[in-house]
A = this chain, B = another copy of it.
Amino acid sequence: MLLLHWDKAINNETLKMGAFDISKRDQAIKRLESRRKSGELGFMDVSLSREKTAQIKETVSYIQKHGKDFIVLGIGGSSLGGKTMISALTNKFSNKGTKVTFIDNVDPDYFFELLNVLDLSSTVFNVISKSGSTAETMAQFLVIYKMLCDKLGKKEAVSRIILTTDPEKGALRPLVRSMGFNSFEVPQNIGGRFSVLTDVGLLPAAVAGIDIEGLVKGAQDIVKTGLNNNIDENSVLKYSLIKHNHYIKGRTCSVIMPYSTKLADFSAWYVQLWAESLGKKGLGQTPIPATGATDQHSQLQLFMEGPKDKFITFIGIEKTSTPVELPKFDVDVEAFSYLSGHTMHELIRAEMLSTEKALSENGVPSVRIEIPELDAYHLGALFMFFEMAVALTGEFLEINAFDQPGVELSKKYTYKMMGRKGY
C-alpha cells in the first residue's frame, strides 16, 4: 500500500499552525459522508462486476481481432486517465499487440497526420463523451465516421466505433439505440475527472492488456479507510490536512513530482483533478506538473529560489524488476566514474531524496508518497488516493469539488461562433 513520508520539522510546524481545527475537519468528513449517502460520490463505489468483466473481455477480443490500432477520441476526463494507465503500465516502445492511441484535441495538422497513416481496415475507435455534445470529440467523430463509411460501408463503420456515454441521457445514447453502435457507460454520478476507473478508462486499459482487476482492487483498498477521521489510520486525511494547512499559509501552488517518466501522464491527470475540482470562488491551489529527475533541470531552480508559494508532492517507486546496472567505462573519468557499480534505479532514488532534502533546507515543504512498485494495484490506489484527497480538500474549502461552472462561458461563445442554434 502507499506510504507517506514527510520532513519531521515541517510536520511539527504544520501541527502547530492550528489553522484548521479538529471540529472543522470532522465536519468536512461528515459533509463528504452525506454526499456519499445521497449518491453524489459514485467514484468511491469503484467495482468490477462479473457482467462488466465479461462485457469488457468480449469487446477486447473483438478489438484485438479487428484492430492493429485502437484510437480513443475524447478530451479532458475522457482521455487523461486512460492515457496515464497506458503510459504507466505498458511498454511505449513495443510494437506487439493492439496499439492504443489517444487523440485529445482538434489540432487539424495532428489529426490529419494520424488519418494519413492509419489503416482503417484494421482500426477500432472509441468515442468517449458523457453528454455527446463535446464539440472537439464530436468533430472527430464526424470525420472518422465518414471515412469509415467511405472505406468499409455503413454497417462495418458502425461496428468499428464504440461509444462510451451516459447510460440514458445525452446525444449519443439515442444513436446506440437507432444505429446499433456498441456502447459502454459513463455512470451518471461520476464526473469526467473522476471516471478513470469506470468504462472510460478500463476499456482502453484492458485493450492494452492491463490488469483491470488490480486497478480496481488498489482503489477499493484506499476507499476502506479514506473517510476514517483518525489521522493515523487514514493517509488521505493526513495528506490533505498537511497540504491544506500549508495552503492557508500561502503555499498556493501544488507541485506533483513523480520520479518516473512512466508517471509523467499521471501528473497531467492530477492537474485536471486539482484544477477543475478546487479552482472556484478565487480559491484552489494551482497544480504544477513535474517529472523527476528531469525537472531538476527545468523547474527546480524556481522551486528552490522563486516565490515561497510551492508545496511539493513527490511520488517514489521503491522497487523495480529492471534496475539497469551502470557498467564501468574504459578509462577512469572523475566526472562520472563514481556511477559505475550502482544502478539507474539507485540514481533516480538518490536524486529524489537529495532534492527533497535540498528543498526542505530551503524551507520548501513536501510530502513523499512511496509505492512499493509500479503496477496496476498501486496505480489504482494512487488514483483513488488523490480523488479522495481532492474531495476532502473541497470540503475544507467549503466549495463543491464536483462541478465546473467556469468552463461554460467559453463553450457558449464557441457554439455562437460555429452557428449552433440558440446561441
Interface residues of A (CB under 8 A from B): 75-77, 80, 91-95, 104-114, 116-118, 131-136, 138-139, 141-143, 145-146, 154, 170-171, 175, 178-179, 192-193, 252-253, 259-262, 268, 271-272, 275-276, 278-284, 286-289, 291, 293-294, 296-310, 320, 322-331, 333-336, 338-340, 342-348, 350-351, 353-355, 357-359, 361-362, 374, 404-407, 409-421
Measured between beta carbons, the chain B residues less than 8 angstroms from A300 are 406-407, 410
- Residues in chain B near residue A253, CB distance under 8 A: 253, 286
- CB neighbours (8 Å) of A351 from chain B are 106, 135-136, 410, 414
Indicate if the CB atoms of A91 and B107 lie closer than 8 Å. no
Contact A418 B347 (CB under 8 A): yes
Across the interface, do B275 and A407 meet the contact criterion of CB distance under 8 Å? no
- In whole angstroms, what is the CA distance A95 to B117 when docked? 9
Number of copies: 2
Contact B294 A76 (CB under 8 A): yes
**Contacts A117-B93, A298-B80 given; does A336 touch B108 at CB 8 Å:** no
Q: Are B171 and A334 in contact (CB under 8 A)?
A: yes
- Given A76-B294, A106-B351, A131-B335, 15 other A-B residues pairs in contact with their CB atoms under 8 A: A105-B293, A108-B324, A108-B343, A110-B261, A110-B262, A111-B324, A132-B336, A143-B326, A146-B327, A272-B298, A286-B309, A334-B421, A353-B413, A358-B409, A358-B413
Can you name the residue of chain B whose Cβ is closest to the Cβ of A115? B324
- Return the chain B residue nearest A145 by Cβ: B329
Assess the B320–A299 pair: CB atoms within 8 A.
no
In the assembled complex, which residues on chain B have CB atoms less than 8 Å from the CB atom of A325? 143
A404 vs B306: C-alpha distance when bound (angstroms): 11
A344–chain B nearest beta-carbon distance, Å: 4
With contact pairs A143-B324, A414-B351, A415-B338 given, residues A192 and B117 touching in the complex (Cβ less than 8 Å): no
Whether A406 pairs with B305 at a CB distance below 8 angstroms is: yes
Expressed in whole angstroms, the Cα–Cα distance for A315 and B193 within the complex equals: 26
Q: CB < 8 Å: which of B283, B333, B358 contacts A171?
A: B333
Q: Is the CB of A106 within 8 A of B347?
A: yes
Q: How far is the CA of A33 from the CA of B108 in the complex (A)?
A: 41
Residues of B within 8 A of A139 (CB): 326, 336, 339, 344, 347
**What is the distance, in angstroms, from A142's C-beta to the closest C-beta of chain B?**
5
Compute how far the CA of A330 lies from the CA of B340 in the bound complex, rounded to whole angstroms: 64
Give A141's nearest chain B residue, CB to CB. Answer: B336
Are B142 and A117 in contact (CB-based, < 8 A)? no
Tell me whether A296 and B407 are in contact (CB under 8 A).
yes
B-side contacts of A133, CB under 8 Å: 335-336
Could you tell me if A143 and B344 are in contact, using CB atoms closer than 8 angstroms? yes
